[in-house]
Amino acid sequence: MLTINNFNRAISSIQEDEFDSHKFIKHYIKECEHEYISMLIENFNDSDLDGAFRNLHSQIGRFLSLHQEQLNIVKLNDKSSSENIKGDITPNAQWRKL
């Protein structure tokens, strides 16, 4: 389950003031590994093997967007391209700590 507490733990483990969603997810996995794996399993579907990651990461992005105020972050207008957890370079949102 996505919670403000877990998201705050992941955000505080990021040293930079600006970060992208991929960096956040990597820190979230490091800080909240058990929760991440549980949610990944909940999103698993035999007919769409890649869908579990895509669905969960979309949920994480939406949670960041919807809870910016509680998380003391702001979404920047720019997108960045960086390596996702599968090693692919893909565009994603950028964030700034307040």
Q: Kindly tell me the burial class for residue 7, based on how many C-beta atoms sit within 10 Å of its own C-beta (0-12, 13-18, 19 or more).
A: buried
Mean pLDDT of the chain: 94
Return the percentage of the chain with pLDDT > 90, whole number.
Answer: 87
pLDDT at position 5 over 80 = yes
pTM: 0.93
Q: What is the pLDDT of residue 51?
A: 83
Q: Which two tokens stand for residue 35?
A: 């929760």
At 49, is the pLDDT very low, low, confident or very high (cuts 50, 70, 90)?
low
**What is the extent of the structural domain holding 27?**
4-97
